[in-house]
Structure 1
Amino acid sequence: MIPWLPPALTDLFIEAAWQTLLMTFGGAVIAVVVGLPLALLLHATGPDGLHPNGWINRPIGLLVNAVRSTPFIILMVAIVPFTRLVAGTSIGTTAALVPLALAATAFIVRLFENALREVDRGVIEAARAMGATRTQIMARVLVPEALPGLIAAITVTLVGLVGYSAMAGAIGGGGLGDLGIRFGYQRFMPEVMATVVAILILFVQGLQSLGDWLVRRFSRR
């Protein structure tokens, strides 16, 4: 129960909070699953990578940059036909996952790529000298060595997805953003808007604190 809100709104807050969690973590899981292989591919095919190949690196890089440079609210509207094709609908939490995952993937790919670039090249050369294949170097050297940076990238992406999920509420995506717009703004209920903002702040602070702890935990002193 939220003491300053009617019981009916409390139930709506619980449902909206669950929808926000689903959009945030669902989008992040998809982004990590798709983004890490893409980041490894971009790193490997870059000029200083394990297997430089501009024909692969440049088109993928341009596509990632194109998605990253598109404001999220515009991206949501622009890919409505694709969202309908994938989710069967263009409204609701499930539909919102499509643009959220797409935006988060483009965002996290570059963060992952930067984390991979920070790995000491001496470690990579040592693995090469011991006869490790490119795949073994990526899986057993690059990823473990870049793990703190990868965790930090995931944390930043999760925090960004909280904001994106709130924007998704503007066009029927559900979640706390939708609740804040419908009741806090359109129905002039400032207590609802204040509660939405407070919950989102606490959520972001929790994610950031957990991410910072994990980065410290996996960092090699």
Structure 2
Amino acid sequence: MNYRLAYAVGFHPWESAIETPAFVASIERLFDEAEVGRDPPYGSALDLGTGSGIWGVELAKRGWQVTGVDIVEKALGRARDRVDEAGVEMELVRGDVTDLRGAGVDGEYRLVLDTGTYHGLTSEQRAAMAREVDAVAGDEATVLLLAWEPKRRGPLPRGATREELEANFPGWEVTDLGRTNFTAPKPVEILMKPNEHWYRLRRE
């Protein structure tokens, strides 16, 4: 999917997820589970394809040290405004998720979040992103990844399967956590039929 074009024309329906109580409840539950047994600060978190920084900011509010990565400068501009408005600390990096280390993103991240980047990439890009995540994630890291069910959607994300995730993330245990409960704006929901799922990945 061409995210530069999407932001250029103001097409970013995924941002309305913050206004969907059922989706917010689902992602907050996953954050809660990642924090069990710990006290803030929780450690480093990486928000892949952060866009306007919605969920990176929410993690920062909870006590994570967050780095957000996106390749679209217009999206990062919106993220900077959101970070300033929220009054939190969040590092924003312009970079490609298929070459995180080339963008200077490195370390031992304890939480990696992807709310819709992986499933919009080509097969080659997905494999490259998985390799990069594997390289920068800590030994006890958790990856939370959102993906649509596969379907032909033209230039829109075609979705991804659990089996593909398992193939691209060898050495990780992949768990399908079920629907995200996000309902897109009606025209988008009718055209895309996303049927989003949350997946949790942990090193085996």
TM-score (ref. length: structure 2): 0.26
Which structure has more relative contact order (CA 8 Å, sep 6+)? It is 1
TM-score (ref. length: structure 1): 0.25
